[in-house]
């Protein structure tokens, strides 16, 4: 189920416009901060909560709108993104990867926040959280989510937003 109608109405937007903003915000961060060109794959993507050999970075939203921005990618892509951000070789998923991906998620969430209110002043962001592992589950209110799939050098990247009103 997509973002609730009452949220879209309050934001004076449509699912398509919200998706376009999220796509543009995500691509902008990856282009500006990493010099990488993400390609959005316009596919219907079911909410995912079970991940294998991945890294997930999440930032919570609280205020007039509550929710979660999460970015999920395979460990191999997480290391490539960290290499691009820090300009150094990365051979394992470690604290540098956690820090880099947390910061990427924070930047995407900061951009998205600007679409949620005038100047984003009535929505606060949490400190980024990062999860990784060979097999893990992240549970959110999947019913209120929008999930967008991207491709970067033949690897996938999933950006999800869960959004509800206070």
pLDDT tens digit string along 132-158? 888 767 766 656 788 899 999 899 999
**pLDDT value, residue 63:** 92
Q: Helices 15-34 & 75-86, crossing angle to 10 degrees? A: 60
What structural domains and CATH numbers belong to the chain? 5-165 (3.40.1550.10)
HSE-up (13 A, CA, CB side) for residue 89: 1
Considering only CA atoms, which of 110, 115, 126, 156 is closest in space to residue 7? Answer: 115
pLDDT tens digit string along 5-37? 888 888 889 989 999 999 999 999 999 999 999
């Amino acid at each position: 189920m997509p973002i609730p109608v009452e949220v879209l109405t309050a934001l004076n937007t449509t699912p398509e416009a919200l998706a376009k903003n999220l796509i543009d915000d995500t691509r902008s961060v990856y282009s500006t901060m990493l010099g990488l060109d993400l390609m959005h794959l316009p596919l219907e993507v079911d909410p995912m909560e079970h991940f294998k050999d991945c890294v997930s970075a999440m930032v919570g939203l609280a205020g007039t709108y509550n929710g979660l921005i999460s970015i999920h990618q395979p460990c191999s892509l997480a290391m490539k993104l960290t290499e691009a951000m820090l300009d150094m070789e990365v051979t394992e998923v470690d604290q540098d990867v956690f820090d880099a991906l947390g910061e990427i998620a924070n930047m995407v969430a900061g951009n998205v926040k600007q679409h949620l209110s005038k100047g984003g002043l009535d929505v606060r962001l949490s400190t980024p959280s990062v999860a990784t592992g060979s097999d893990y589950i992240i549970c959110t209110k999947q019913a209120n989510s929008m999930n967008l799939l991207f491709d970067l050098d033949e690897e996938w990247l999933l950006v999800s937003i869960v959004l509800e009103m206070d």
